[in-house]
Structure 1
Amino acid sequence: MAKGQQLEVLNALDVAKTQWYHFTTIVIAGMGFFTDAYDLFCISLLTKLLGRLYYTDPGSTRPGALPINIAAAVSGVALCGTLAGQLFFGWLGDKMGRKKVYGITLVLMVATSIASGLSFGSSAKGVMTTLCFFRFWLGFGVGGDYPLSATIMSEYANKKTRGSFIAAVFAMQGMGILAGGIVSLIVSAGFESKFKPPTWNEDPVASMPPESDYIWRIVLMFGAIPAAMTYYWRMQMPETARYTALVAKNAKQAAADMSRVLKVNIEAEEERVDHIAKSEKNQFGLFTREFARQYGIRLIGTTSTWFLLDIAFYSQNLFQKDLFSSIGWIPPAGEMNAIREVYMVARAQTLIALCGTVPGYWFTVAFIDVIGRWWIQMMGFFFMTVFMFAIAFPYNHWQQKENRIGFILMYGLTFFFANFGPNATTFVVPAEVFPARLRSTCHGISAATGKAGAIVGAFGFVYASQEKDPAKRDHGYPAGIGKKNSLIVLGVINFLGMVCTLFVPESKGKSLEELAGEIEDVEDDHRRPA
């Protein structure tokens, strides 16, 4: 697309040098993602504690564990809410505007984070029911942040560094995962230091002091703090110029908003905006043959790769504590008290996040506008496949205590290449390759398909990873295919992700309108003689 064919206000955004407003947008949108990741992943640190507190039978020879249906619900219900929120708020972001919907999701996250920590009930079932209820609506708010944050950042960014800016927003997910581990470490260490409970083997009752119930509540409620801190700044952001000009068709407002943001004078091109709006190319909707013809392959690519990625990614994240236990990195439950177990699980996740998860995100930020989205995604899926198979096939070798460090290294590398790979690019690309009037909706559909994969991972892996030997299974869990075979399946899923990446377009260095084909033909039609 020639430069002269782009609207002046959009061209000004595309060619703008990196400025302070870029960084403030990254922080404002990124803190939402920080909260999202914290809320979604911190529960995996607390499920063993919940099992001890609410499902330990008197006289039992080992600590209690959440029944399989309760464990699956507690771990996965927020993902179900997230899926629904991505679809609903993604659609709403295209109908009402990105900014108007942005504040709603944040308020919902703050309220439900606090409510989750205050879950109540006169029985274990009652507490778990209210916890699941509030976490569903927490996930609903989290889901809205996905399409809105990605779309807002893509529409504010310049085309030269747009990938890095969107990836930087998503990289806050890694910081949220890390923060979940750190907060759990601090809270559990503080409680253990104060109450000094014995191990389960020494005194089962005393190993679970009543104050342990505060730990999971404090950790869950902490997620409200970063979300609340960014509410004011979200409300001060102007609506994106691309929504205002191309969707709301208000050329004057778009020019005024971006003149203030960019600190330059921008002409309001009302006539050109009218021509763009009236073009047949900008009229068809999502469920039309024309959309399927122009964008169908792209949508297949963005949805399928995100679906496959999240099966593997969430399986690893939500249940890595079980893998650590199987190789002896976390001591047997009887050798710890309830508080110490939270500390040990959090320490394991924090180490993986610090060494593998977080660096991977920032490698993507550094190289996505150099290497390109497509190559990073293909490379990530490839190495995830390689390292998953390297863990799975010699699984018995990694279970030996002397090989523990090797297992952690290999496992950490799968996270590194997930984040320096498809976990970041599947978030970036859908925010770039669809037209403005459907951008938030299509990102929401892609993200929701990903969360469908996460639900498969969260609910399926807890069953599938159970060993055939009853002595090696968790309480009440039926026999599955075992951890080794589950990891092989995840490796195959990663390979399929490589295949589906062939449907994903490269968007590096192009304007959003060029990628979506929104303006070029409109301008040609306008110039064509009658």
Structure 2
Amino acid sequence: MSDNKAPSPNVVQITEDEIERERERVRLSPVFTIIFSGFALMSDGYQVGVLSLINVCFANIYGDAYTSEMSTRLGNALFVGIVLGQIGFGFFCDRLGRKVGLLVTTFLVIIGAALCAGAYGAGGSTEGLFWALTIYRGILGVGVGGEYPCSSTNASESADSVMQGRRGMLVSLATNTMIDFGFVVAAIVPLILATAGCSYEVIWRVSFGFGVLPPLSVLYFRMKMTNSQIFQRNNLRRNVPYVLIIRRYWKYLLGTAGSWFIYDFIAYPFGIFSGTILDTAIGTNGTFVQTAEWMCLLNFFYLPGCIAGALSADRIGRKKTMTLGFFLQGVLGILMGIFYKDLLAIFPLFVVLYGVFLGLGEYGPGDMVILTSAEIYPTAIRGTAYGWSAAIGKLGAICGTSAFKPAIASLGHGDVTLGQSRVFILGSGLSLIGAIFAWLLIPDYTKQDLSYEDEAFKKYLEDNGYDVSYLGDASTTVSHESFQEQGVVATIGGSEKQELESDIDTTRL
């Protein structure tokens, strides 16, 4: 009787080519995660920035019927949605995983942008149109807000495994730089449409609708992606010890949330209403195309600021970069406010200085609030802490945009130019406060990888009697023995088997 046995139907034949393909997939997955995080966040910046020129369109179409209250309501609808999305999806991406959060936010952004592009008021009502846009912008805002914690935490966790010592640069380029690139595109799209001779209605509808394209471009990848390795090892899906967490991280949260509040209080009103400021400065003889052209130049200054901040983050550190950006923005803004009327007489110089003012905000707090919020907290609560920091920041944006036009009217006593100059001084004073805030409350994790705080958090929980077995997914440890228990044996050599098992352990959820 022969001793040869027929191969078991459960035997898995794994070739060297398959092993190599698996290694390549593991190596490239975090790279694509970072790239597509940037594409999605570009849409978020676009949706916020596009309202600036759309405000000009609405003012030209509806005249006095488009009141400052309506303009503020449209801006705040997006921000309220963003706040809800940041808090909600920050929590969900810690509990359900980054992938689930990213898929839901992608669909919300697509649906919200499409609804805005097709908005109509009942019976052609102007009031109805703006109420519809308010609701649709709110839906869009929830998706945009959810992108912040989901995309930024995912990019940060992936960057740690792609290029050691360059996490700050990679995350800043994939997050804030792409958000601000969205602001630049938000000025270019209406300009192209206006130059082509499109009506104001076509301009605002197509401009809103263009925001559908970036999230559509990343949808397929997000359906195929896996959660990051560090998330699988360190997540905390249940029995979250909130009291212990608050006791350890309240000061960190005060630093990231407070700095973000000050940054957004300044950045968003000066960005969203830049079209209105430029329109006023150009005068009644100016055209929409002229306003859009100057705004394109103005928004371009966001990008050098972001890139400089990304390069600076790993060189001089997060804390110093944020503090320096706040300080320089404050000094320049105060000088611009003092010499405001003289600068308007040399309009190109005014636009350049205005652009540098905005760019300094991106160099320092713009890049660093996102980066620090995504790296100084442990993986188990990274999304939640990031979401709360960003949400409090957006409350600053809501306060800033709500107060911007009333402040101009109140401080100027009927003189718009005087009001704008004093608002520059006031906002820049807040930048100087932001510099102090950042220096005192932001910890610098420039030299640490993300596992540093994960280990410190785990030890802290153990020291306080918490059962750390709740950390990590039970399914992330898949040993060779577990395959044997199921009657599945991989017929590969020892070293290849160990390497592949290591890949399986950390990449398959």
Same topology, TM > 0.5 = yes
Label 1:469 to 1:316 Cα distance change in 2 as closer, same or farther (>3 A): closer
Shift of 1:519: 4.3
In the alignment, which of 236, 239, 242 is matched to residue 227 of structure 2? Answer: 239
Matched with 2:138 is 136
Matched with 1:199 is none
Shift of 1:406: 2.5
In the alignment, which of 441, 458, 482 is matched to residue 503 of structure 1? Answer: 441
1:67-106 pair list within 5 angstroms: 67-106=67-106
Matched with 1:512 is 450
Q: Is 1:163–2:108 an aligned residue pair? A: no
Matched with 1:59 is none
Matched with 2:3 is none
Matched with 1:348 is 294
- What TM-score do you get using the length of structure 2 for normalisation? 0.80
In the alignment, which of 121, 124, 144 is matched to residue 126 of structure 2? Answer: 124
Shift of 1:459: 1.2
SS at structure 1 position matched to 2:448 = coil
In the alignment, which of 424, 428, 432 is matched to residue 491 of structure 1? Answer: 428
Amino acid paired to 1:165 = L
Q: Is 1:51–2:59 an aligned residue pair? A: yes
Amino acid paired to 2:270 = Q
Label 1:93 to 1:284 Cα distance change in 2 as closer, same or farther (>3 A): closer
1:397-436 pair list within 5 angstroms: 397-400=342-345, 403-436=346-379
Query: What are the Cα deviations for residues 159-198 of structure 1, in whole angstroms up to 9, with x where unaligned?
Result: 5221112111121012111111111111111125xxxxxx
Tell me if the contact between 2:84 and 2:145 (Cα under 8 Å) persists in the aligned partners: yes
Label 1:233 to 1:80 Cα distance change in 2 as closer, same or farther (>3 A): same
Distance 2:56 2:296 in 1: 17
Tell me if the contact between 1:514 and 1:520 (Cα under 8 Å) persists in the aligned partners: no
In the alignment, which of 328, 331, 352 is matched to residue 383 of structure 1? Answer: 328
Label 1:524 to 1:132 Cα distance change in 2 as closer, same or farther (>3 A): closer
SS at structure 1 position matched to 2:457 = coil
Distance 1:105 1:481 in 2: 42
Distance 1:175 1:455 in 2: 22
Tell me if the contact between 1:507 and 1:515 (Cα under 8 Å) persists in the aligned partners: no
Label 1:19 to 1:119 Cα distance change in 2 as closer, same or farther (>3 A): same
Matched with 2:505 is none
Shift of 1:523: 9.2
Q: Is 1:285–2:285 an aligned residue pair? A: no
Shift of 1:525: 11
Q: How many residues align?
A: 433
Label 1:331 to 1:482 Cα distance change in 2 as closer, same or farther (>3 A): closer
Query: What are the Cα deviations for residues 281-302 of structure 1, in whole angstroms up to 9, with x where unaligned?
Result: xx7533x1x3233111100000
SS at structure 2 position matched to 1:191 = coil
In the alignment, which of 172, 176, 181 is matched to residue 178 of structure 2? Answer: 172
SS at structure 1 position matched to 2:197 = helix
Label 1:188 to 1:511 Cα distance change in 2 as closer, same or farther (>3 A): same
Matched with 1:197 is none
Label 1:65 to 1:365 Cα distance change in 2 as closer, same or farther (>3 A): farther
In the alignment, which of 197, 202, 205 is matched to residue 191 of structure 1? Answer: 197
Distance 2:432 2:461 in 1: 41
Label 1:65 to 1:313 Cα distance change in 2 as closer, same or farther (>3 A): farther
Query: C-alpha root-mean-square deviation of aligned residues, in Å?
Result: 2.4
Amino acid paired to 2:274 = Q
Tell me if the contact between 2:330 and 2:428 (Cα under 8 Å) persists in the aligned partners: yes
Which consecutive residues of structure 1, in runs of 5 or more, have no partner in the other structure? 1-15, 57-63, 193-210, 250-276, 278-282, 474-479
Distance 1:525 1:216 in 2: 56
Tell me if the contact between 2:34 and 2:158 (Cα under 8 Å) persists in the aligned partners: no
In the alignment, which of 154, 157, 170 is matched to residue 156 of structure 2? Answer: 154
Tell me if the contact between 1:74 and 1:131 (Cα under 8 Å) persists in the aligned partners: yes
Distance 1:82 1:522 in 2: 32
Amino acid paired to 1:179 = V
Q: Is 1:24–2:26 an aligned residue pair? A: no
Shift of 1:515: 2.9
Matched with 1:208 is none
Label 1:19 to 1:469 Cα distance change in 2 as closer, same or farther (>3 A): same
Which consecutive residues of structure 2, in runs of 5 or more, have no partner in the other structure? 1-23, 466-509
1:356-371 pair list within 5 angstroms: 356-371=301-316
Distance 2:190 2:103 in 1: 28
Shift of 1:409: 2.4
SS at structure 1 position matched to 2:315 = helix
Amino acid paired to 2:187 = G
Distance 2:114 2:205 in 1: 9
Calculate percent identity across the aligned residue pairs: 25
In the alignment, which of 248, 254, 260 is matched to residue 300 of structure 1? Answer: 254
Shift of 1:243: 2.1
Q: Is 1:309–2:263 an aligned residue pair? A: yes
Shift of 1:506: 0.2
